[in-house]
Structure 1
């Protein structure tokens, strides 16, 4: 018997902005360094959402994911990555290429000013927009 990804996993991944592997399962941020984190801040993965797993592995991952969530609520403040993208309005042509490549939907085209604006809360500083510009 082969374990397959759950029905509707593609729609869930699209909604939560989580990558899907070649095998159709959800992809973690880094298999060794961040095994229960997705690339979307605040969304954690465990068990068979990532790949076929047995019960002990699933329980271990679920404990890790729960620990990560608990650590978010341990402080009165949430801290954001200090590196975010910017826009030089003098050279921005307003083409929107950077908007289309941003994996976090942190960029929007201001139609009045004809330049791109960055939502600092959503931006994770990945640099995709700069590379595309």
Structure 2
């Protein structure tokens, strides 16, 4: 309840600031990269998941439902929709959006594990066409 109230308050404050509430164009990615932490052992791992793919880490099963990134700056602020299940619990322990730049805004609340979004996998920039070598036909012959 506290998180929802804090989230609603942040949204209202952001909407009141000029230029902050403007819509940003996002693109969908085919995959995303997450970081997983076992707080008990200190073990960490980076996991790359394609949309719909599921990975098992410890007792957690993590599924990437969607990953999107700002169209004007692909390296910034990824957002991923995840479904995370604990093998000992029937219902998902987390189902929703996580934001890379604000992991605490919508976080997995688990006593042993942490999961957060690092980035979306974006298409590589197309290689620049190689310039045709200049020829000097007829010169010096």
- Using the size of structure 2 for normalisation, the TM-score is 0.19
Q: Which has the higher helix share?
A: 1
- Could you say which structure has the greater relative contact order, defined with CA pairs below 8 angstroms and 6 or more residues apart? 2
- TM-score w.r.t. the length of structure 1 is 0.20
Q: Where is the strand percentage greater, Structure 1 or Structure 2?
A: 2
